[in-house]
Amino acid sequence: MLISDAVHIWRVPEGDYHVEWQTSSKDTEVSVEALAEGGPVSTEYRAPEGEHAAYRATVSGLPLGRRHFFRLRDQHGNEVLAAERRLGLQGSPNFRDFGGYRNTEGQQVKWGYLFRSGHLAKLSDEDIALLASLELDLVFDFRQQSEQLSEPSRLPSERPPLICSLPIAPGNNSGFLQSIDGVVPSSEAMFEFMVTVNRELALEEAGVYRRMFEEILAQDSARYLVHCAAGKDRTGFASALMLLALGVPESLVLRDYLLSARFFKPEVELEKVRAKYRLSDSDREAIMPMLQVDEAYLRAALEGIHSNFPSIEAYLSEMVGLGRSEIAELRGRYLQA
């Protein structure tokens, strides 16, 4: 049987789509249909290479400049309708739609409303055109003011979204980066720093995320994007909060967070981060945990919530300003049967 929560689709900048799925048994047959008009479409299938590996197909020839949906169906009648999760932007490789997940009541988060990414300073003209097609209403920028000024976002000039600057300085409360004088003592120390950063996002920076939700609720069914520099930690927690508010299980929230490991390449950003935080070049491996994606990071934020509040709902109400009426409003906007 086709496993609905294990369908994953992403687009590469060249235009091809990669479709990945898992089944409960090896004898399950799955068809992949691209729902698009015009242009030749070819599909190349690849069988899984390991016992628990996913099946994959590559779809080529779809019209560029807009998003496409795909229908996966098995011989038992089970069907999944999904869009690409990672959009193929050349200048922002971690740009993703975080809709499509099912909540605990079986409702699905709508595609095409909730997006997350790294910074937008290096978008190509083709990227801008694709971004314009999303018709975003709000863009939340969690980068520090210095980051926003040195690498301003490129956005569509026609019907531009409202930019909401909500700066968060990673680890500002722990003082770790200020105390080490540019020399990271070990990769273990940097890993623990990142765990602390994510815990602080939940417990010390909740006011920033409260302002995010206030802006979202102030508009009618806003399509929005959350982003920081890499699109993994500050952005990851922002995405997690919305998914939790919509009733998506923590297991799926963690799965969405970990997708950044596929698309954000630490080795590409190493020199930039080293210069940004004035870190020594003596031990590159010690710096890497800052750039990597680890389940322990977001889990630290979630554990901070569970350790200090009786429930996720209590945290959302007390710290983020999402009471019953606000939760009901968000679910009415962003969920479908």
Q: Which domains does the chain have, with CATH numbers?
A: 1-84 (2.60.40.10), 90-336 (3.90.190.10)
Do the Cβ atoms of 72 and 300 come closer than 8 Å? Answer: no
Three-class secondary structure of residue 209 per DSSP: helix
Q: What is the pLDDT of residues 90-147, one digit of tens each?
A: 999 999 999 999 999 999 999 999 999 999 999 999 999 999 999 999 999 999 999 9
Contact of 103 with 248, CB cutoff 8 Å: yes
What local confidence, expressed as pLDDT, does residue 14 receive? Answer: 85
Residue 337 scores a pLDDT above 60: yes
Whole-angstrom Cα distance, residue 272 to residue 165?
A: 22
Of 220, 197, 209, the closest CA to residue 245 belongs to 209
Mean pLDDT for the stretch of residues 62-90: 90
CA distances from 318 to 238, 243, 332 (A): 16, 17, 21
The tens digit of pLDDT for each residue in 230-243 reads 999 999 999 999 99
Lowest mean pLDDT among 39-43, 163-167, 196-200: 39-43
Confidence of residue 327 (pLDDT cuts 50, 70, 90): very high
CB atoms within 10 A of CB 149: 9
pLDDT confidence bin for 37, thresholds 50/70/90: low
Characterize the bridge pairing of strands 114-117 and 224-227: parallel
pLDDT at 223: 98
Residue 188 neighbours by CB under 8 Å, 6+ apart: none
pLDDT band at 13 (very low <50, low <70, confident <90, very high): confident
Is there a contact between 82 and 91 (Cβ–Cβ < 8 Å)? Answer: no
| Range picked from 51-60, 66-75, 185-194, 206-215 for highest mean pLDDT | 206-215
Q: Quick check: 278 pLDDT over 90? A: no
Task: Report the C-alpha gap between 31 and 52 in whole angstroms.
Answer: 19
Under DSSP, is residue 224 helix (H, G, I), strand (E, B) or coil?
Answer: strand
Structure token digits, residue 228? 């920081």
Q: Is residue 197 pLDDT above 80, yes or no? A: yes
Q: Which helix (H) or strand (E) holds 237?
A: helix 234-245
Rounded distance, CA 43 to CA 58, Å? 6
